[in-house]
Structure 1
């Protein structure tokens, strides 16, 4: 027997989980999702993730009908039933089930599913040594601020980057870096400023990004919210990306250019330590 998962109000073995053929998340990608990191059995930045989930649902007019406390209860029960210490807990909400039609009825009942994934999040080789990221044209739609399940563009970009020998990929639109395919992109200038894009419809508002920004403010570290070019990124003193599953991840090569001396820099190391300390992880 495998994991216990959550499907439409019930906790069941994954082998018994069923999602309907006419679920709009399956047919249209008409669904939103969230991923929360779990370290030592505790969820990290979960209030930020649930706040973003609620916003995504509002933007798509999907009336889930569960409170934030109730959703957190589902997450906690999944973690407990699967004895998860380190990894992620995934939630997805679809608009509901109905015969295939582009137009939907307001009477549809949204469907919530969830599961856990065990994964080592801290002390990984990638976090110690840094990763390489490719640069690729951004193929996605224009409402990237909504965390939808429509991820084919990201899948294609990541697959192409892996085939080219890179660990991940940053996306570029109109000559500017938007974000990573599943992360928020940051660079650090020679004078110590942290650059990352401001919130807009062009990018997903990162929860790890926001949590780190609050920590930086407390440490009086300068964050400049503005777009930057691939050339600026490649010429930066340091670079990193943030996400729930990678936390603060050093980037040591962007495209064919090595960043700095090719090793995670001192500011990135400081930010890693700040974030892990705030999460209650021994550094």
Structure 2
């Protein structure tokens, strides 16, 4: 039996060699379609030509995958990506505004199969950009150019939040939309900037007025305090108290070293003193020589 098999195989060897060579050539020719490499930050979606079509319930992760040559593996970048986008929108007065946006987005990893089946690889220009533009045009048309230019009450932020909520239901994740520039017609821009400068000047002037009002109130309170103080003091002052305070002041001056003091008292009962300091208390009670 073995001899018969070997005899049969000997006659078939040339044919087997040919078949092996053909198979090898096919593998080399279709190598890139059979051995698929999915790199870091990517996800694969398989399209099976003769069976299920697009596989939506399984995502091919990073690594090498063996695929039939008649099937196709579509690879998606699932990292956060940034796309710059410029477009023009009209305000409620029909004036054009040019916006430059930076859109940060990525596909949802778990639903990348559905994204491929229902939208396709060009999902950025198919759903993300049109959805954001639609929300901006719908809402900006209700505002004045000035409100948009200064982003009054975070108008643009609220519009973007609405757009992001809508995109979240379409297999993609938009992390953020950043407004890089807002460009108005030159004349409108100058008029808005002039108005803003005038408003700032008015606020500065109003602030100065409030400061002056507070200062006037402070001075009035201070004057009233001085008046009340003088009224209280005038009720307690008498001639003996004043003379006693003068003696105390003279003693304090006499305690200072290297000081020459000449004090001439005035009035009938003044305290005339002439001498070098320190001055004794006895000298302070003596009137000056004529």
| TM-score range normalised by the length of the shorter chain | under 0.3
Which one has a larger percent strand, Structure 1 or Structure 2?
Answer: 1
TM-score w.r.t. structure 1 length?
0.19
Which one has a larger percent helix, Structure 1 or Structure 2?
Answer: 2
Structure with larger RCO (C-alpha < 8 A, sep 6+): 1
